[in-house]
Structure 1
Amino acid sequence: MAASTEVNSEELQTWPKFVLFGDSITQLAFSDGGWGAALQHVLQRKCDVVCRGLSGYTTAWGKLVLPQIINKNNAEDIVLVTIFFGANDASLKEMSPKHVPLDVYKTNLTDMLEYLQQLGLGSDQVILITPPALDEQAWLKHCQEMGSSINRLNEVTGQYAKACWDVATERKMTCVDLWTAMQKEKDWQRYLDDGLHLSKEGSQFLAQYLVPLAQEGTNHLPIIFPLSEDVDPYKPEEALLNRNPTKDDLL
């Protein structure tokens, strides 16, 4: 029926957005069993989970591209953001040009948080995630297969995890300390595929921490479009067409 396709057909309706921002561990968030997919599963019909993971990036690069991802033109549509950097920042200085000194890493995180706050995102809308623990034995094997020496150490990664936690604490923001949480588990190495990136089990482990935070942060959002049980199958137009939601209805 033509009328049903003409309602608000000028543009795709904008839904609230949960933006995942980070490096390759974020880029892989929608892989099989990924933590981003777990978030989208529980938030469907409330908001879109948008993945902006950039493999190989550090906070130095992330700080430069963040305004191209979140800015004054779209910030009001965003309800939550994760910032998940550190795995590349913590690479050893003598082994990688991507190394970001610890103090600069903290400054970069702080700058990104301040930028988001300037756009109107509150401290309860941003979730920091520390880099995961590093399985040095598995990562060494991976590096050797790539023809290089090991370029990261778990102890050093832990320093960046602590720095991330400190930044969140200073700014009274939520932080998931993945590095510490993983190592409290027996055989935590199973949470990693190659010693660095999260396995399916690792993604599920991270999701256990993020899903409750995501649900809490979206409690105020209504279900978008009526539930099927609220639609009269004989007169669906009354529920589905006799409404013209504004942007405020969706935020």
Structure 2
Amino acid sequence: MALCEAVVCGSSLLWPRVLLFGDSTTQFSFQQGGWGASLADKLVRKCDVLNHGFSGYNTRWVKIILARHRKGSSLDSPAAGTVFFGASDSALKGENPKQRIPLEEYAANLTSTVQRLQSVGVPESRLIRITPPPLCEAARGQERQLDFLFSIGCKLNRLNSVVGEYARACLQVAQDCGIDALDLWTLMQKDSQDFSSSCLSGELHLSPKGNEFLFSYLWPSIEKKVSSLLLLLPYWRDIAEAKPELSLLGDGAH
């Protein structure tokens, strides 16, 4: 399917797609004011924006999910796609062994993810790799203190410096694979700005301002990749009143 066209199969219309693939920061991106919702709003009537976010998932589990996909699935030939993992993988080994993935395996898993996406028709030129956001250790500590009061007794299981190591590994994989990358971990801490109070809600999830921050840096890259997409359906004022099918079933120019 050409990226600037939709295909009609029987009574179904196959729209071009933008795929968002990641963990909780992707899963929650369609909430009000989320960066995924902002993308969908920008691309309305040009393509579908699909949320493939899995809260709490690490890259080891993602490899298993991707192995199930074949050509013709929702992953097939999107106009653009984001790959946004690392927040779960970077958990500390001694405190959160279930989610934690060793740094070397994390990098290998990211490479494998790219290769698997390529095998189902997603070229690297359409992908954008996003690093995990920075971690607010103060907020994490406050949450764990509350847990302790309720006898949960969880310890601090992530450190921002460790997340930074995973962010750098993410960038290296993107460079090695020839993929565009967005270094969210560094951008949110640029010039020693207080990212924790403005961009994060709690320890690592994005606040409304954090979603706006991510979208502002992501959109220029997405826009380039979808620049060939046409408006598939006209604005309502431009629909031919006497014969709307000319506008809705034709090329939209009538």
Once residues 159 and 212 of structure 2 are traced to their aligned partners in structure 1, the CA distance between those partners, rounded to angstroms, is: 24
Give the AA of the match of 2:126.
Q
Residue 233 of structure 1 and its aligned partner are, at CA, apart by: 2.2
Q: Deviations over 1:117-153 (max 9, x none)?
A: 2223222111111000001000111223233110000
Partner of 2:4: none
1:36-185 map, 5 Å:
36-68=36-68, 70-74=69-73, 75-97=75-97, 98-146=99-147, 147=152, 148-184=154-190
Once residues 251 and 207 of structure 2 are traced to their aligned partners in structure 1, the CA distance between those partners, rounded to angstroms, is: 44
Give the TM-score, by structure 1 length: 0.88
> Structure 1 pair 242/169, CA: closer, same or farther in 2 (3 Å)?
closer
Residue 243 of structure 1 and its aligned partner are, at CA, apart by: 5.9
Residue 221 of structure 1 and its aligned partner are, at CA, apart by: 1.3
Partner of 1:200: 208
3-state SS in 2 of match to 1:56: coil
Give the AA of the match of 1:83.
V
- Structure 1 stretches lacking a partner, 5+ long: 1-7, 245-251
3-state SS in 1 of match to 2:13: coil
Once residues 40 and 238 of structure 1 are traced to their aligned partners in structure 2, the CA distance between those partners, rounded to angstroms, is: 26
- RMSD over aligned Cα atoms: 1.9
Once residues 23 and 244 of structure 2 are traced to their aligned partners in structure 1, the CA distance between those partners, rounded to angstroms, is: 44
Once residues 213 and 124 of structure 1 are traced to their aligned partners in structure 2, the CA distance between those partners, rounded to angstroms, is: 11
> Structure 1 pair 243/43, CA: closer, same or farther in 2 (3 Å)?
closer
Once residues 187 and 243 of structure 1 are traced to their aligned partners in structure 2, the CA distance between those partners, rounded to angstroms, is: 49
The alignment-based identity, stated in percent, is 41
3-state SS in 2 of match to 1:121: coil
Q: Deviations over 1:186-206 (max 9, x none)?
A: 221121111111111111100
Once residues 43 and 105 of structure 1 are traced to their aligned partners in structure 2, the CA distance between those partners, rounded to angstroms, is: 32
Give the AA of the match of 1:50.
L
Partner of 1:213: 221
3-state SS in 1 of match to 2:52: strand
Report how many residues are paired: 236
Asked whether the equivalents of residues 24 and 55 of structure 2 are also in contact (C-alpha less than 8 Å), the reply is: yes
> Structure 1 pair 114/77, CA: closer, same or farther in 2 (3 Å)?
closer
Asked whether the equivalents of residues 71 and 121 of structure 2 are also in contact (C-alpha less than 8 Å), the reply is: no
- Structure 2 stretches lacking a partner, 5+ long: 1-7
Partner of 1:187: 194
